[in-house]
Amino acid sequence: MRSILILLCGFLFSVYAQGQTGNADNEISAQDKILLQEFWKDFTDAVTRNDKAKL
């Protein structure tokens, strides 16, 4: 029973570790990063000023 649990934990850990490897398809381009930063800046400004029209 204990060996089955150890094997199961090892298998789950290996699946988890494999899923954490970097994927080049998920990277954000520099232009998208700039657009995202501008969006968040405008969004936080609108929230702090309670500007419902801008939201």
CA 24 to chain centre: 14
What per-residue confidence (pLDDT) applies to 23? 58
Segment 1-38, tens digit of pLDDT: 888 889 888 888 888 877 766 655 667 889 999 999 99
51: CB partners within 8 A, 6+ apart: 45
Confidence of residue 43 (pLDDT cuts 50, 70, 90): very high
CA 30 to chain centre: 17
Written in H, E and C, the secondary structure of 21-54 is CCCHHHCCCHHHHHHHHHHHHHHHHHHHCCCCCC
